[in-house]
Amino acid sequence: MKREDITYMGAGPAALPTDVLAQAAEALQNYEQTGLGIAEHSHRSEIAANILNTMKANLTSFLDVPSNYEILMMQGGGSGQFDATVYNIVSAWVEKQRQKIVNELGEASEDDVVRELRKKVESELRLDYLVTGSWSSKASQEAIRLLGPEYVNIASDSRKVNDGKFGKIADESTWKLSPKPTMVYMCDNETVDGVEYPNFPKVLEPTGSEEEPFVVGDFSSNILSRRIPIKNYSIVFFGAQKNLGCAGVTGVIIRKDLLVSCPPTILRKLGLPIAPTILDYCVTAKNNSLYNTLPIFDVYLAGQVLKKLLATFPDKVDGQQAEAQKKADMIYEAADAYPEVYKVVPDKSVRSRMNVCFRVIKGGNVDEAEKAFLKGAVERGITGLKGHRSVGGIRASNYNAIPVSGAEKLVAYLKEYAQA
């Protein structure tokens, strides 16, 4: 079977533009006539540094990243960032509290400073999580594992407003945020459950106060598909393997004033976890993401995707957002037209543009209907539609590399199956 015969709608690793892959395949053998493939060049070489810096510049351009933010390229995927955000934000927060205490106490011993810090930590250190799906749930569980439940607050759990299942986002008025949260964590798009925030939460919009929480956004499955109000976030992170490239690199956009860390000796005395060097944002930033061997081929691939996007959309991310919305609207409209055949899982107000999750209910036997639906899809060259193993069902992942014609192909099959 030829590549052009397949419309792959798997949730990740996801499809990549064919022309980008063709160019990357050539670079993998002989990059710019150097006689070496791109994966063979030293990560300390000028070639590697240029690839990294060009990719970062293109990402800055496409997303309009403000100048007071730093871009880091790391490893470990989005799951690695569940840990990194906790380690680094706790360290940055404690360091800022330490500096305040030192200024207030003047001449004071380290033990005196630690004593005051411990009071602050016990009374004020709180990481809030907005649990809207499988990934934000896992992030909250990781924070509890690292810090202990006394420091983690589940400010909202969408299952409580949806009969024990994910599929809605609770109204902001019901969120039980900590009085002065250190951090608020949200996953902008839940890949497994097909839920996406329609807008940035109003309750988290910055006011200019020094007491504002660090807001962390996980954009692993919808990065580059919509405009992000980056100034509303302290940290935005994203695995590459949905819209940016292949698995192996993870992007972090971080406000530069967060690039401070507390001395490990202080954190140890407070009983707080210390970031492994490889997950330390300060170390990563200081070394321009090259503290250890960065997979330069993966960075190159991401850079080529960004280069193609910039050439395709003169209005940058706004153009891609309009196309993503157009494709999603087509698919949802087709599914909604046959309520006796398809049941879209998430509430209409929070439907993901990237991951369209639905059940096939035709004939009453859902399992048999979905098996027949998937079989027919594969016969027509539409693959990767099986839902996540934890929830089942059908999931059509409508990432940026899926052309409008690919969405149209799925829509045609949705209609064909419904009318058969």
Which CATH architecture fits 51-298? 3-Layer(aba) Sandwich (3.40)
Give mean pLDDT, residues 332-350. 98
Residues of the chain with CATH 3.40.640.10: 51-298
What is the average pLDDT value for the chain, to the nearest integer? 97
How confident is the model at residue 106, as a pLDDT? Answer: 84
Which CATH architecture fits 313-417? Alpha-Beta Complex (3.90)
How confident is the model at residue 43, as a pLDDT? Answer: 93
Give mean pLDDT, residues 287-312. 97
Three-state SS across the chain?
A: CCHHHCEECCCCCCCCCHHHHHHHHHHHHCHHHCCCCHHHCCCCCHHHHHHHHHHHHHHHHHHCCCCCEEEEEECCHHHHHHHHHHHHHHHHHHHHHHHHHHHHHCCCCHHHHHHHHHHHHHHHCCEEEEECCHHHHHHHHHHHHHHCHHHEEEEEEHHHHCCCCCCCCCCHHHCCCCCCCCEEEEECEECCCCEECCCCCHHHCCCCCCCCCEEEEECCCCCCCCCCCHHHCCEEEEECCCCCCCCCCEEEEEEHHHCCCCCHHHHHHHCCCCCCHHHCHHHHHHCCCCCCCCCHHHHHHHHHHHHHHHHHCCCCHHHHHHHHHHHHHHHHHHHHCCCCCEEECCCHHHECCCEEEEEECCCCCHHHHHHHHHHHHHHCCEECCECCCCCCCEEEECCCCCCHHHHHHHHHHHHHHHHC
Q: pLDDT tens, 305-333?
A: 999 999 999 999 999 999 999 999 999 99
Q: How confident is the model at residue 230 (pLDDT cuts 50, 70, 90)?
A: very high
Give mean pLDDT, residues 344-369. 97
How confident is the model at residue 202, as a pLDDT? Answer: 97
Give mean pLDDT, residues 90-116. 93
Residues of the chain with CATH 3.90.1150.10: 313-417
Q: How confident is the model at residue 14 (pLDDT cuts 50, 70, 90)?
A: very high
Q: What pTM did the predictor assign?
A: 0.97
Query: In this model, does residue 209 exceed pLDDT 90?
Result: no
How confident is the model at residue 60, as a pLDDT? Answer: 98
Q: Which of 61-70, 173-182, 206-215, 247-256 has the lowest mean pLDDT?
A: 206-215
Give mean pLDDT, residues 152-162. 98
Considering the chain, what percentage of its residues have pLDDT values greater than 90?
A: 97
Q: pLDDT tens, 167-196?
A: 999 999 999 999 999 999 999 999 999 999
Give mean pLDDT, residues 358-371. 96
Q: How confident is the model at residue 371 (pLDDT cuts 50, 70, 90)?
A: very high
Q: How confident is the model at residue 1 (pLDDT cuts 50, 70, 90)?
A: confident
